[in-house]
């Protein structure tokens, strides 16, 4: 009985992970907790590199939510377009996790 609902549970987990990744990205974009250089900053040090935690979070977002590769198509667009692309990425993430759930169901 548990195996029957496994793909749905994986899909819901994928959507929740996508939403968490979206809000993490939005928080970093809006509030800049890592003091990243912003557009129009007069002087950025030549030896500047992003903080380690930021780089880890950035990699984790693209690993856990591969649908966010679509985000590259919305760079420089308005916020509405970026939110729509994020929504599509979250839905694609749900589909990918559903496929993983189906594969696990077949194996079990």
- For residue 42, the model assigns a pLDDT of 66
pLDDT tens per residue across span 87-104: 999 999 999 999 999 999
Would the pLDDT of 2 be above 60? no
Would the pLDDT of 26 be above 80? yes
pLDDT tens per residue across span 4-25: 688 999 999 999 999 999 899 8
Rounded to 5°, the CA angle 3-16-102 comes to 30
Question: What average pLDDT does this structure show over 29-39?
Answer: 81
- For residue 4, the model assigns a pLDDT of 67
pLDDT tens per residue across span 41-95: 667 677 778 899 999 998 998 898 888 888 787 777 888 888 888 899 999 999 9
| Measured distance CA(48)–CA(68) in Å, rounded | 26
DSSP 54-98: HHHHHHHHHHH-GGGGGGGGGTTS-HHHHHHHHHHHHHHHHHHHH
- For residue 108, the model assigns a pLDDT of 84
Minimal CA–CA distance to 87: which of 100, 98, 99, 74? 74
| Measured distance CA(107)–CA(99) in Å, rounded | 12
- For residue 57, the model assigns a pLDDT of 92
Query: What is the pTM assigned to this prediction?
Result: 0.81
């Amino acid at each position: 009985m548990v195996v029957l609902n496994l793909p749905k549970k994986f899909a819901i987990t994928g959507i929740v992970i996508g939403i968490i990744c979206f809000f993490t990205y939005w928080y970093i974009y809006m509030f800049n907790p890592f003091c990243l250089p912003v557009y129009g900053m007069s002087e950025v040090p030549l030896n500047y590199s992003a903080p380690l935690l930021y780089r880890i979070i950035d990699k984790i977002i693209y690993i856990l939510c591969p649908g966010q590769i679509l985000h590259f198509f919305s760079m420089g667009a308005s916020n509405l377009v970026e939110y729509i692309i994020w929504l599509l990425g979250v839905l694609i993430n749900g589909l990918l996790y559903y496929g993983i759930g189906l594969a696990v169901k077949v194996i079990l």
